Structure 1
Amino acid sequence: MSAMSNKKKSPAAARPTSRDVARLAGVSQSTVSLVFGGKAEGRVTPERREQILQAAQTLSYRPNSSARGLKLGTQKLLALGVPNVSNPYFASVLKSVIGSAAANGYATVLINTGEYGNDPERLLLSLDAHAFDGMIFWEASWTARALEIMPTSVVVVDGDSSADADVFIASDVIVREMVDHLASLGHSRIARVGFDLEANTFRVRSRAYREGLQAHGLTYDARLEIELPFGATSSSAIEALLSQPQRPTAFVCDDDLLAPLVYRAATRCGLKIGESVSVVGIGDIELASLLEPPLTTVAIPTQALGESAVDTFLRKRAGQPTTLSTVQTRVIMRDSTGPCIA
């Protein structure tokens, strides 16, 4: 027997393949390819997709970026991870990032990080992070694990504090400004409506809401804080609040998208926005100025935000020092707020 027949397999030869993942998950290899090729939506059930990701994690499988064709020739890729791709605010951010990245020779891939909850391992595994030159994340909690796995430049937007962000949106300051505005109008029963999402932004805003109340000597009442699933169409929880004898006279909405639910609830309860009930939002998306009355809100400049994120990525990629970029927000006063008359 020749010496060659006794050779052990090299580590590279022992590397798990998509076929191994398919066998362990009990699916076809083509189904595995759909999941890791980003083509699973509408073709692979969430349960089956989870099976495949679990199998890949068990085997420590990493897709081969060149085999997948994610990076062809000199194509350079930048990933943008946002908590909810359905939010029009992030659509505006994406537009800015795409433009800035393209001007520097990068194509942008959008990733809905909200699908992965608090499990960055699953996200980074399914992505094949090696295919990307860099990533812009909205969640600071992902960063440590991302840096461990990815040989890329990671940019964090809207972290828990300026200490763990590259591009910072002072969500706490924004919410406190809104509470200050409502308190200055004489409102003491101020409610908050937020999204029930595993996103750090909304945790920060909830904390800032309570701090804002405390700063004005107002008692925090947990019954006045409502969290709704993204895409909620029912205003019943808000209507229930407005039907109480000691009802709130003002609402802080964590997102402009929540304001229409407050408007509807107020109308159904016979209350007029801007008079009987005051409402403020955050984002200044197009919807805000179309509501009747137009919504008082905080404008977050998505164009500047996207440009800052891409610029920070380019500096990191080039090994240049970076500094914290703080996005300057602006309060837009409209007709949805007024003096407390309850």
Structure 2
Amino acid sequence: MYKKKVTSSDVARKAGVSQATVSMVLNKKYNVSFSKDVIRKVEEAAAELGYELPKRKHHTENKREKLLVVFCPNLTNPYYVMLLQGIESRATEQGFGLFVCNTQRNLELEERYLKMMPSLNPQGVIYTCNPSRCFMPSVEELSAQIPFAIINNQNEKLDVDAVELDNSKLGRIMAKHLLELGHQHVGYIAPPLTVRQKQRSKRVEGFLKEFKDADLGNNVIIKAANEKMDKDVPGIDSEYRIGYDLTKELLAEHEELTAIVGLNDMIAFGILDALYDEKYKVPGDMSVMGCDNTLFARMQKISLTTIEHFVIYKGRDACDIIMKKIKTRDRQYSEMEPISIYHVEYEPRIVIRGTTSYPRARKRKT
């Protein structure tokens, strides 16, 4: 379905050199640090594979609009809206406009938007999640010409600038809070745990590890939505509905539970409503946790215990990385362009509010 395009990564593998070396050699940015043998290998590999350098429009550089492109997989979750808020606030300060590509986690849409990049000719591109694996060669190829930044899961190894998030750490913090309160039987509700959405699985794995370390791994019930959910165009209440529907299933199947966790705040809101409909008191009968510390979690009537990992700041940092790259390219101090990879990470912390407490059994003893 997707015709494989020859990339600089392919040339690097064939020539036995790094991708950065391929970029500098083929762009004639090499100096005496590259031997004639290395230059020959790179040029021969490129010729054999039929590789062509992406065209750079130097003559129109001064006329380019100050435009940043943002790839976003879902605009129905406040998490991504918060990221966009951070990106836009910094971009506006620097006089840049945004073009938002809502991929809806659809491969064809993502591919279409990537193919639009040469014609849009942006000064930078930000991915608010990991690019799909099948498009990573294209992303790395484009990043040699356009500054890229990705807000990604820390466990993914990418040769692109990144604002990183350790999803397994988020899961561990959530689990530690419940364990400290004395919860031994918990449910965990998540969207589809597919290979494409590895960051979700990392959050679940981190949570499960803490319970396993406490010899309670078998007491954690993982409920994940059907993979079909990711193939449909997300509705405004898709993640809320996952939390609501799967909570009803958990309550019918597992009476021993004393806490239910949502992979994110939107799922946690669905969990809360399902519990209220079933006449459960929160946190008296059931504790609930979310993750992301979105606006609604802070509202007095909800008061959701959640994890703060500074989402808006991450959007601003991704934009700052782009600005640094643009300045580096505009103010080059030698004939060679430096190869630099930025990595930024924030330490998450728990925000304890009114939806978590000791489990029922401990309350009866006090």
**AA partner of residue 273 (structure 1):** V
- Does residue 94 (structure 1) correspond to residue 88 (structure 2)? The answer is no
For these two proteins, the number of residue pairs brought into alignment is 275
**AA partner of residue 108 (structure 1):** L
Indicate the residue corresponding to 1:152 in structure 2. 146
Check the 8 A contact 2:154/2:166 in 1, yes or no: no
Give 5+ residue unaligned stretches, structure 2. Answer: 1-54, 330-337, 362-366
- Give the SS at the match of 2:152: coil
Check the 8 A contact 2:188/2:220 in 1, yes or no: no
User: How far apart, CA to CA, are the structure 2 residues paired with 1:282 and 1:185?
Assistant: 18
User: How far apart, CA to CA, are the structure 2 residues paired with 1:220 and 1:155?
Assistant: 39
| Structure 1 residue 167: Cα displacement | 0.6
| Structure 1 residue 185: Cα displacement | 1.2
Identity %: 20
Return closer, same or farther for 1:201/1:98 CA change in 2, 3 Å cut-off: same
- Give the SS at the match of 1:114: coil
For 1:1-342, list aligned pairs within 5 A: 73-117=63-107, 120-128=110-118, 131-137=121-127, 138-140=129-131, 141=133, 142-149=135-142, 151-161=145-155, 163-164=157-158, 166-196=162-192, 198-220=196-218, 223-227=221-225, 229=229, 231-232=237-238, 233=241, 235-290=244-299, 292-317=301-326, 318-319=328-329, 321-342=340-361
User: How far apart, CA to CA, are the structure 2 residues paired with 1:267 and 1:195?
Assistant: 21
Check the 8 A contact 1:193/1:254 in 2, yes or no: yes
User: How far apart, CA to CA, are the structure 1 residues paired with 2:185 and 2:219?
Assistant: 9
Return closer, same or farther for 1:158/1:106 CA change in 2, 3 Å cut-off: same
Check the 8 A contact 1:120/1:146 in 2, yes or no: no
| Structure 1 residue 293: Cα displacement | 4.7
- Give the SS at the match of 1:243: helix
Per-residue CA deviation, residues 203-248 of structure 1 (Å, 9 max, x unaligned), is 3212223223222221246853233745233623311211335442
User: How far apart, CA to CA, are the structure 2 residues paired with 1:145 and 1:276?
Assistant: 50
Return closer, same or farther for 1:245/1:301 CA change in 2, 3 Å cut-off: closer
Q: TM-score, structure 1 length as denominator?
A: 0.71
| Structure 1 residue 338: Cα displacement | 0.8
Give structure 1 regions of 4+ aligned residues with deviation exceeding 6 angstroms: none
- Give the SS at the match of 2:182: coil
Indicate the residue corresponding to 1:35 in structure 2. none
User: How far apart, CA to CA, are the structure 2 residues paired with 1:168 and 1:200?
Assistant: 14
Check the 8 A contact 2:153/2:167 in 1, yes or no: no
Return closer, same or farther for 1:248/1:72 CA change in 2, 3 Å cut-off: farther
Return closer, same or farther for 1:128/1:203 CA change in 2, 3 Å cut-off: farther
User: How far apart, CA to CA, are the structure 2 residues paired with 1:340 and 1:185?
Assistant: 7
**AA partner of residue 285 (structure 1):** T
User: How far apart, CA to CA, are the structure 1 residues paired with 2:289 and 2:275?
Assistant: 14
Q: TM-score, structure 2 length as denominator?
A: 0.67
- Give the SS at the match of 1:338: coil
Check the 8 A contact 1:120/1:145 in 2, yes or no: no
Check the 8 A contact 2:91/2:319 in 1, yes or no: yes
User: How far apart, CA to CA, are the structure 1 residues paired with 2:266 and 2:312?
Assistant: 20
| Structure 1 residue 278: Cα displacement | 0.7
Check the 8 A contact 2:292/2:306 in 1, yes or no: yes
User: How far apart, CA to CA, are the structure 2 residues paired with 1:170 and 1:117?
Assistant: 25
